[in-house]
């Protein structure tokens, strides 16, 4: 039973991959629109942006509104486009000059339909390296350009270089984090020493306080003892006077107690 289930799952995966890899079926009208879109991009739209990639042509659109730019493009180059889309495309093509250079040759052109848009991808040769231009048009009879951009084509060497850089950055980050963790763990060894020092200081303060208290009590007791001696002398003299003795010689005071006068 398990073998049958495995076989069915394998066949389903094969059919799924086949369906994913199959090209969409277009009608004759859709094929005609794709062909017209490719021709418009290759013969009209890309040459337009090639002109704006020249250094002295970049400022031609400065000072014009989006509607004015749309009108200029339609009358000068013969295709519909929003003025803001033209500005964004010109900026993208000029930024790509640093990595791709100026377009010298148009190679393969591919197109596809996605919902209400037609996406045309063009492989171009630049003076520095190859690039890919992507132009998005509306999926209708007007084929108004919605956006366009030029990006450098990533080669296997570029991909490997980026992968190597990402690997180095990842490994470096891991080592840095491990070093920080090791440093923090090493600091834990100083915590008991710090606590011991704090406890020692606290004990010293308590001992000093106790010593001060004891010294104060001793001083007070000495004062109190002196007072008791004086009291004993006074009492002895009073007793000698009451007995008619001339001095206190022969009197021995065994204890002195305070009389409770409340009784």
In DSSP terms, which residues pair with 137 in a beta bridge?
A: 118, 145
Please give the pLDDT value at position 70. 93
pTM: 0.54
What is the average pLDDT across 210-233? 63
Task: Name the pLDDT band for 55 (thresholds 50, 70, 90).
Answer: confident
Does any domain span residue 89?
yes
In a domain, 92, yes or no: yes
Q: Does residue 11 lie within any of the structural domains? A: yes
Residue 46 near residue 127, CB atoms below 8 Å: no
Q: Order the strands of the 103-114 sheet from edge to edge.
A: 103-114, 117-126, 130-138, 145-152
User: pLDDT of 72-130, one tens digit each?
Assistant: 999 999 999 999 999 999 999 999 988 898 888 999 999 999 989 999 999 999 999 89
Residue 35: domain span: 2-153
Tell me the two tokens of residue 239: 């007793």
**Which structure tokens are listed for 182?**
């090791």
Question: Tokens 């000698």 appear where?
Answer: 240
Strands 117-126 and 103-114: antiparallel
- Other Cβ atoms closer than 10 A to 3: 7
Contact 31, 38 (CB under 8 A): no
Does residue 165 fall inside a structural domain?
no
Per-residue pLDDT, averaged over 203-221, amounts to 69
d(CA 66, CA 77): 16
Phi and psi angles of residue 26, each rounded to the nearest 5 degrees, phi first: -105, 150
Answer yes or no: is pLDDT of 20 > 60.
no
Q: Which two tokens stand for residue 130?
A: 């190859």
According to the model, what pLDDT value does residue 250 have?
A: 62
12 or 76, which is more confident? Answer: 76
**What percentage of the chain reaches a pLDDT higher than 70?**
72
Query: In this predicted structure, which of 14-18, 96-100, 181-185 has the lowest mean pLDDT?
Result: 14-18
Total domains in the fold of the chain = 1
Q: Is residue 250 situated within a structural domain?
A: no
Alpha-carbon distance of 220 to 226, in angstroms, equals: 10
């Amino acid at each position: 039973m398990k073998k049958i289930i495995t076989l069915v799952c394998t066949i389903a995966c094969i059919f799924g991959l086949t369906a994913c890899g199959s090209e969409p079926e277009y009608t004759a009208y859709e094929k005609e629109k794709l062909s017209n879109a490719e021709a418009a991009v290759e013969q009209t739209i890309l040459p337009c942006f090639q002109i704006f990639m020249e250094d002295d042509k970049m400022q031609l659109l400065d000072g014009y509104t989006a509607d004015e730019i749309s009108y200029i493009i339609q009358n000068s180059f013969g295709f519909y486009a929003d003025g803001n889309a033209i500005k964004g495309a010109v900026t993208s093509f000029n930024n790509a000059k640093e990595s791709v250079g100026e377009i010298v040759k148009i190679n393969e052109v591919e197109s596809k339909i996605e919902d209400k848009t037609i996406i045309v991808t063009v492989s171009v040769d630049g003076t520095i390296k190859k690039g890919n231009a992507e132009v998005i048009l509306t999926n209708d009879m007007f084929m108004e350009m919605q956006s366009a951009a030029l990006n450098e084509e990533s080669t296997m060497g570029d991909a490997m270089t980026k992968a190597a850089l990402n690997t180095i950055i990842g490994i470096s980050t891991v080592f840095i984090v491990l070093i920080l963790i090791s440093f923090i763990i090493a600091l834990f060894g100083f915590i008991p020493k710090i606590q011991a020092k704090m406890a020692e200081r606290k004990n010293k303060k308590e001992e000093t306080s106790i010593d001060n208290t004891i010294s104060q009590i001793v001083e007070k007791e000495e004062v109190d003892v002196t007072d008791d001696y004086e009291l004993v002398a006074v009492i002895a003299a009073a007793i000698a006077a009451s007995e008619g003795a001339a001095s206190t010689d022969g009197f021995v005071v065994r204890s002195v107690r305070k009389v409770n006068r409340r009784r």
